[in-house]
Structure 1
Amino acid sequence: MSETTNTPSPTVDDRLIVSVGRVAHGGHCVARHDGRVIFVRHAIPGETVEIVLTEQGEDAKFWRGDVVRVVEASPERVTHFWPEADALRAGARHASPIGGAEFGHVSRTGQLALKTAVVREQLERLGGLSSEAVDELFAAGVEDVDAAGNAEQKSGMGWRTRVGFAVTSAGKLGMHAHRSHSILPVQEMPLAVPAINALRLWEIDFTGIDRIEVAAPANGSGVLVLLAPVHGLSEKAAGAAVKRVARALAALETAPSVARWNPENSAIEVINGRGWVKETTDDHEFRVTGDGFWQIHRNAPKVLTDAALGYLLQGGFLNDGADVADLYAGAGLFTAPLADAVGADGSVLSVEGSPGTSRDARKNLHASAHVEILQGRVEKILGTQSRASQSAAGQRRQFDAVVLDPPRAGAGKAVVRALVATTPSAIAYVSCDPAAFARDVKYFANAGWKVEKLRAFDLYPHTHHVESVALLVPASKVTTTE
């Protein structure tokens, strides 16, 4: 079982006072000491802070440190909303803060500015775009998707529909400290939607459980709790631990579904209720099984489909009868509206690597005969696609438009090469990582493509993460917008 440990009390030599420079990708800022680069978390550019070194070494290319005291504060600094994630409070007791809210000490406007700076820097440094090009593409900066919400939502709280927890050695609900195996006990998770906190998981004895995943769709259709027993327990002990927790959850006024879960192969065994959740958008309903992928922010499905499909519709790439593809398609979030847009005379290729999620897509789109769902590696499947007509047998299939929504690591050179070979007129690229997106932009540029439109959204308030949606077209192509 995982042990709960606190960071040892640092020595005087582990502490430094530094001036904080620019923000960098990954949720930290850059400082220097005696010519050494230090990546500092929980700081804000322009501040003077005292840090405790968390990673160091004479041969290391750079060091890492956490802020434990603020000497000169930025105007954007606020009191952290979550005590367990507050580096200053943790530093005062010689402990580590939990991860998952590393920008909680920054005002909401300050967070948007930091994320905008990161997206810009990555596009220029890794993507090869000029500052003038970025100015033109990205004048709006990172957009706040919660601006029209209630007071809690405007403050960046209550947005996570999915949360993963660990368990302390005492069997209490916990989360990991940043870049650490240490597990710290937690109670309410302020970023989670109310239905998750309503479970009051911190009151339950999780002895024998190693990991907990909770999914609570924003539509209120029912919560699913997945329980992974501690590895190495006997089958009898593991089963008893899961059933004990399931009984505690069943006693709640609004009881969730509960399933035993194997994180290694995503296999689930339903204990109470069902092993899936029902997600909805304005026009479609989706079944998502177990730990299958779905966008985390309660507003993300609408924000991202409106942006990605909006680019393709406005550019005239989704006419009736069009041949399109949804790559890394998940349970069908983009596939379903693509199928609507091209009509029964069109065709949609849906490609997803996860077998379980691909099965969900088949269930979700079983009524759409013009949708083909294939499970496997994107680059391999694209390489096997040929035109449907016999006269063109053996020729590579050509798409009119593509939605590309890769995992955090990005699409990569092989996928970009295979995708460009299908000669689509446009690609709507959805990215959850600015660095991976910028690298792929460079690969596309080397293949003769350009970014024509770009938006970015703060779908992860109080963290360093940001979601981007871009329209990519061949560099020689000029598109028009109605």
Structure 2
Amino acid sequence: MADEARGREVELDVLRIAHGGVAVAELDGRVVFVADSLPGERVLARITDDRHDRFWRADAVRVLEPSPDRVPHVWAAAAIDRDPAQRAGGAEFGHIAPARQRRLKTEVLRDALQRIGGLTAEQVAALDPAVAAVPGREDGIRSRTRVRLHVDRSGRVGPFAARSKRVVPVDDLPLAVEAAERLLPRRARGRELDLVASGSGAFAAGPRDARGPVVERVGEREFRLEALGFWQVHPAAPAVLTGAVRRAVDPALLDPDADNLDLYGGVGLLAAALAGDGDVRVTTVESEPRASAHAAANLADLPRARAVAARVDAFLTGEPVPRPGATVLLDPPRSGAGADVVAAIADARPAQVVYVACDPVALARDLGVFASRGWRPATLEAFDLFPNTHHLEAVARLVPDA
């Protein structure tokens, strides 16, 4: 039966949302993950993956009974009237009303905290996490200052189709800010092309293009970074996360003279938030040498801040840190900090930990490790910094169990 399923079109009632930008339906007792749909709809879907006994994957190809929260897709290149193989990836929630997008992301976050993080329903209710809107257009377009595109063998430029390495040529980028969209070429060389609208100006560059650093401004502070180095893509994100970190840190637990840490610190954005006016001692740790060098320069006016170029796991095992009384801030990559790093932090018993996460499942998994070592989340805020996608950003503060 499985050999005959791929390519078959079936009618499905969509039940709920899942992590990863897909919804959940059932067919003959089997879970089917359905792209380009949303809960409450009935869709005609094409089976795309039947290799697993417990679940299949499918793409919606026609909406039979739409949800009231379905809207015209913000990007025609990704709309359901296109064949799934030719739908642009990177805007998997673009057919959903923005308020419903945020509610769905909140559902995913809450489910992850309980199912993966091991929090009780009462603990989640006390945290009351809800993905909040951020400054910008309500429809979520013009929300990316950095866009990575791909180039096919004939030189055509576009994103990959969802869950594939197939380039979908496009002639517009509505999720990009206008300065970046204006740089979209018809054709290019190489395999990748980044369109960047920075505080120093807009440019298009391939991964091997030589280009000097750029400068971004957050409030009254400037941050210098490599032209294609990591920086938050939403125009409001640096300020939103700076504010969230400052709110998360409990001033009663912050010792300015402790060995406070900013792990996975990049070019120093969140270390600056922790340092305040410069009276707080903080070490920012970043494995990428150029980013760490920029962090040192960006924080040079803060006399009690320093930057260390090192892998976080090596740093934590190479020095007796973090020490009791410290505040530890960490902003790991999408995969999370991982059990070894979490264990090293938790077992050192700092005063508080502020965890910035861009993946709810990785966050929940790491919170579960913290919990196994006697830590609990005291606060949690979440933000819709990636509108029209399934991604979100969260900031949690953890404290030792009483």
TM-score using structure 1 length: 0.79
Alignment-derived partner of residue 318 in structure 1: 254
Alignment-derived partner of residue 142 in structure 1: 131
SS at match of 2:276: helix
Indicate yes or no: 2:339 matched with 1:339: no
Flag structure 1 segments of 5+ consecutive residues without an equivalent.
1-9, 229-260, 262-267, 388-395, 477-482
The alpha carbon displacement at 1:368 in A equals 3.4
Give the distance between the partners of 2:335 and 2:219, measured in 1 at CA: 30
SS at match of 2:39: coil
Give the distance between the partners of 2:216 and 2:247, measured in 1 at CA: 21
Alignment-derived partner of residue 195 in structure 2: 214
Task: Confirm or deny: 8 A CA contact 1:450 1:474 kept in the other structure.
Answer: yes
Task: Confirm or deny: 8 A CA contact 2:62 2:81 kept in the other structure.
Answer: no
Alignment-derived partner of residue 49 in structure 1: 43
| Pairs within 5 Å for 1:412-427 | 412-427=338-353
Indicate yes or no: 2:362 matched with 1:436: yes
Task: Confirm or deny: 8 A CA contact 1:40 1:64 kept in the other structure.
Answer: yes
SS at match of 1:184: coil
The alpha carbon displacement at 1:226 in A equals 1.9
Alignment-derived partner of residue 223 in structure 2: 286
The alpha carbon displacement at 1:15 in A equals 0.9
- Percent sequence identity is 41
Give the distance between the partners of 1:72 and 1:320, measured in 2 at CA: 58
Give the distance between the partners of 1:284 and 1:399, measured in 2 at CA: 28
Give the distance between the partners of 1:12 and 1:374, measured in 2 at CA: 51
CA deviation profile, 1:54-100 (whole Å, cap 9, x unmatched): 2123x5442111100111111111111211111x2113xx7431110
The alpha carbon displacement at 1:12 in A equals 9.4
Task: Confirm or deny: 8 A CA contact 2:256 2:281 kept in the other structure.
Answer: no
CA deviation profile, 1:164-204 (whole Å, cap 9, x unmatched): 011133322211101111111112211111110122x234x
Task: Confirm or deny: 8 A CA contact 1:215 1:277 kept in the other structure.
Answer: no
SS at match of 2:194: strand
One of 109, 126, 143 as aligned partner of 2:99 = 109
Give the distance between the partners of 2:120 and 2:388, measured in 1 at CA: 29
Alignment-derived partner of residue 57 in structure 2: 64
Alignment-derived partner of residue 11 in structure 2: 17
Alignment-derived partner of residue 68 in structure 2: 75
Task: Confirm or deny: 8 A CA contact 1:319 1:342 kept in the other structure.
Answer: no
CA deviation profile, 1:109-130 (whole Å, cap 9, x unmatched): 1101100100010001001111
Indicate yes or no: 2:250 matched with 1:269: no
Give the distance between the partners of 2:347 and 2:314, measured in 1 at CA: 12
The alpha carbon displacement at 1:367 in A equals 3.7
- 1:440 counterpart letter in structure 2: D
Task: Confirm or deny: 8 A CA contact 1:449 1:475 kept in the other structure.
Answer: yes
Task: Confirm or deny: 8 A CA contact 1:322 1:342 kept in the other structure.
Answer: no
Give the distance between the partners of 1:77 and 1:144, measured in 2 at CA: 19
The alpha carbon displacement at 1:136 in A equals 1.8
Alignment-derived partner of residue 155 in structure 2: 171
The alpha carbon displacement at 1:45 in A equals 0.8
The alpha carbon displacement at 1:13 in A equals 5.3
Give the distance between the partners of 1:397 and 1:448, measured in 2 at CA: 17
Indicate yes or no: 2:22 matched with 1:38: no
Indicate yes or no: 2:113 matched with 1:84: no
SS at match of 1:360: helix
The alpha carbon displacement at 1:453 in A equals 0.6
Indicate yes or no: 2:302 matched with 1:373: no
SS at match of 2:185: helix
SS at match of 1:430: strand
- 2:94 counterpart letter in structure 1: G
Give the distance between the partners of 1:402 and 1:214, measured in 2 at CA: 34
Give the distance between the partners of 1:109 and 1:326, measured in 2 at CA: 33
Task: Confirm or deny: 8 A CA contact 2:278 2:305 kept in the other structure.
Answer: no
SS at match of 2:159: strand
Give the distance between the partners of 2:200 and 2:33, measured in 1 at CA: 42
Give the distance between the partners of 2:203 and 2:301, measured in 1 at CA: 26
Task: Confirm or deny: 8 A CA contact 2:275 2:302 kept in the other structure.
Answer: yes
Give the distance between the partners of 2:387 and 2:89, measured in 1 at CA: 13
Flag structure 2 segments of 5+ consecutive residues without an equivalent.
none
The alpha carbon displacement at 1:11 in A equals 9.6
Indicate yes or no: 2:123 matched with 1:133: yes
The alpha carbon displacement at 1:138 in A equals 1.5
Give the distance between the partners of 1:305 and 1:118, measured in 2 at CA: 24
| Pairs within 5 Å for 1:359-370 | 359-370=293-304
- 1:202 counterpart letter in structure 2: P
Task: Confirm or deny: 8 A CA contact 1:318 1:341 kept in the other structure.
Answer: no
Give the distance between the partners of 1:224 and 1:198, measured in 2 at CA: 10
Task: Confirm or deny: 8 A CA contact 1:454 1:470 kept in the other structure.
Answer: yes
SS at match of 1:202: coil
The alpha carbon displacement at 1:304 in A equals 0.8
- 1:317 counterpart letter in structure 2: L
Task: Confirm or deny: 8 A CA contact 1:22 1:29 kept in the other structure.
Answer: yes
The alpha carbon displacement at 1:332 in A equals 0.4
Change (3 A) 1:43 1:353: same
SS at match of 2:379: strand
Give the distance between the partners of 1:89 and 1:412, measured in 2 at CA: 41
Give the distance between the partners of 2:353 and 2:203, measured in 1 at CA: 34
Alignment-derived partner of residue 291 in structure 2: 357
Task: Confirm or deny: 8 A CA contact 1:320 1:341 kept in the other structure.
Answer: no
Give the distance between the partners of 1:54 and 1:375, measured in 2 at CA: 44
One of 189, 198, 214 as aligned partner of 2:182 = 198
Alignment-derived partner of residue 308 in structure 1: 245
| Pairs within 5 Å for 1:464-475 | 464-475=390-401
The alpha carbon displacement at 1:402 in A equals 1.3
Indicate yes or no: 2:392 matched with 1:456: no
The alpha carbon displacement at 1:347 in A equals 2.3
Task: Confirm or deny: 8 A CA contact 1:96 1:178 kept in the other structure.
Answer: no
Task: Confirm or deny: 8 A CA contact 1:167 1:174 kept in the other structure.
Answer: yes
Change (3 A) 1:60 1:363: farther
The alpha carbon displacement at 1:294 in A equals 0.9
